[in-house]
Structure 1
């Protein structure tokens, strides 16, 4: 073991010290240790310990039973931050999708069950010692992603590790060593057996966390995972490459121009060249929520921002049809495409100009949605009209009328227009 000085939150020392004093060996593991050693900022700090879940709960006053059956207890620090503390574990049985685990007695057993050497690092908060039985730090420094143990065995235990390999290699700019690459390629077909929820979460992590998600998604394509999980996107990749740019490559380039931290915005960009049926198919297959499906589909299908020569009415109609609340998101998508392709039309500066005009138009308070109208369904009933499907058409017609001239959005004017239309229909 080597001495490595890290600076975790004070609660990590407190939790470790409490468990150690009770006779339970305890280590920090997981992403925080790996990320700091890779030069990244730490995320959540996780601890693993010899203590059983019941013993952890007895030692701390405030705990949350996150997954007691799997050995994980959440310990609440004084400031309310939750730290996951998990009992040492080892695999008893695996089937490529799930693992049956039992509690282990040593940190070495726990690290031996992990997927890659970079994730099999443990750091002792009190002793400032790094335990690295599989050479994970050396692999990180060499820019190599390597499995713990025999690659074929590691991937057949859980085929999701194939997608994790792509994600880690892309995020940390690592090369997957040849034996691991060969083994994962042989297991690509088994990705179809994974639950859609696990596949979805891996994709979202790539889109949300990576500075350049193209790095991981290119590995999806190279290994054949794209064709298994997202054949609609694979069609873009193998499309005609005789033009200036391939649709798949263009999509990756523009997606990289979007900042991390907004996975769903990048998801819209990933899907934006597909037709609506294929977009819907992917979203339903991955079991996103109805709200997520709707918002992503709307972003994908939205018309481009009105050009710099568009008149005010055209801008209002665009805001109304796309939803004024989507202005900033759609502008970011267009800016990413413009920046990824310097010869594109509109240019980045033109996108900015269009966005500013639309933002100013929105700020005027001009009516853009049915709820902005000076007349609503209750007014129509008061006028003697009977509720029904026609109400929606009447209100949409009124909105179209005031989008052309916002000064007409007055109750008296709108009532007169409805009355005139009703009389015309009766004749």
Structure 2
């Protein structure tokens, strides 16, 4: 499916790259079956990408039943198959920081600052077979035994910090079969967290806390609580306290 879409997008004068976990897993030597998510990024706005995707799918006899849909809240274009609730692929235009709402229309270097970890910021041009490493260290961190989880940027925003460490615990749980994950630089960052990170998060209001609770379930809902605690303990007492609070909130919310 990605190939006809890529050809149509490029014919319209835009660039398109494979991004995120798919690139990470393929470069790590895993098979295509190990790829869980198909994420794309490029220079086309989400609406234009949706138009071009419809055009490509209508011209392709095998994928004509697939349909793209753009979220106005996230500016992400998701392509769904018949009777599927999970998208087959998601596209997000090159992103830009500094706004209180999703913004696209930047370049590869600026977009990489929106990524969580360096190993997830690598892009792959599957038409030209070209690997792009905007952080200039993603490939190096990927080659480390067990992989290195290095934040792309050291945000001081409590919500960003919380979401990033939840994603870190998710990846640690997912990758532990390949060996211990190198978290040294991640731990040097979490050591800077305030002792009352949970208090700062609650000060953001019930909606922000509720969204973080949902994000925790999305990231770690299938990871046993004891395993979450053990992995969080590797990232320091502040992260441990955050996980304990979220787990307790989830436990008391269950009927």
Q: Does 1:42 align with 2:59?
A: no
1:224-235 correspondence runs (5 A): 224=237, 225-230=239-244
Change (3 A) 1:21 1:207: farther
CA contact (8 A) 1:28 1:48 kept: yes
Q: Computing the radius of gyration over CA atoms, which structure comes out larger, 1 or 2?
A: 1
Is 1:51 equivalent to 2:44 in the alignment?
yes
Cα displacement (A) at 1:78: 9.8
Report SS of the residue matched to 1:102.
coil
Contact 1:148 1:154 in 2 (8 A): no
CA distance in 2, matches of 1:17, 1:174: 37
Counterpart contact for 2:45–2:105, Cα < 8 Å: no
Change (3 A) 1:58 1:284: same
Cα 1:127–1:282 shift into 2, 3 Å = same
Q: Which residue of 2 aligns with 1:114?
A: 115
Residue 181 of structure 1 and its aligned partner are, at CA, apart by 1.0
**Aligned position for 2:215:** 198
Contact 1:91–1:100 (8 Å) recurs in 2: no
Change (3 A) 1:45 1:201: same
Describe how 1:233-244 pairs up with structure 2 within 5 A: none
What is the CA–CA distance in structure 1 between the aligned matches of 2:76 and 2:198, rounded to whole Å?
27
Greater RCO, 1 or 2 (C-alpha within 8 Å, sep 6+): 2
Indicate how the Cα distance of structure 1 residues 186 and 206 shifts in structure 2: closer, same or farther if over 3 A, else same: farther
Aligned counterparts of 1:52 and 1:69: Cα–Cα separation in 2: 14
Per-residue deviation, residues 26-51 of structure 1 (Å, max 9, x unmatched): 10101111122234411121111211
5+ residue gaps in structure 2? 55-65, 202-208
- Structure 2 counterparts to residues 266-281 of structure 1, below 5 A: none
Q: How does 1:264-303 map onto structure 2 within 5 Å?
A: 282-285=250-253, 293=254
Residues 307-322 of structure 1 mapped to structure 2, 5 A cutoff: none
Q: Which residue of 2 aligns with 1:175?
A: 182
Pick closer, same or farther for the CA change 1:189–1:91 going to 2, 3 Å: same
- Normalised by the length of structure 2, the TM-score is 0.72
SS of the residue corresponding to residue 91 of structure 1 reads: coil
1:380-425 per-residue CA deviation (whole Å, 9 max, x = no partner) reads xxxxxxxxxxxxxxxxxxxxxxxxxxxxxxxxxxxxxxxxxxxxxx
Shift of 1:130: 0.7
1:60-99 to structure 2, matched below 5 A, reads: 60-61=53-54, 63-76=67-80, 82-93=88-99
**CA drift at 1:120:** 0.4
> In 2, distance between residues paired with 1:152 and 1:53?
26
Q: Deviations along 1:61-117, whole A, 9 cap, x unmatched?
A: 353324234221123579987321211111124xxxxx6331123233212221110
SS at match of 2:96: strand
| TM-score normalized with structure 1 length | 0.45
Q: Distance in 1 between matches of 2:246 and 2:161?
A: 25
State the alpha-carbon separation in 2 of the partners of residues 69 and 231 from structure 1: 28
Q: What count of residue pairs does the alignment treat as equivalent? A: 219
More helix, by proportion: 1
Partners of 1:156 and 1:206 lie apart in 2 by 21
Change in CA separation of 1:164 and 1:232 when aligned onto 2, cut-off 3 Å: closer
Say what the alpha-carbon RMSD is for the aligned residues.
Answer: 3.2
Work out whether residues 124 and 130 of structure 1, in 8 Å CA contact, stay in contact via their aligned partners in 2.
Answer: yes
- Kept in 2, the 8 Å contact 1:26–1:49? The answer is yes
With over 3 angstroms needed to count, the CA separation of the structure-2 counterparts of 1:205 and 1:110, relative to structure 1, is: farther
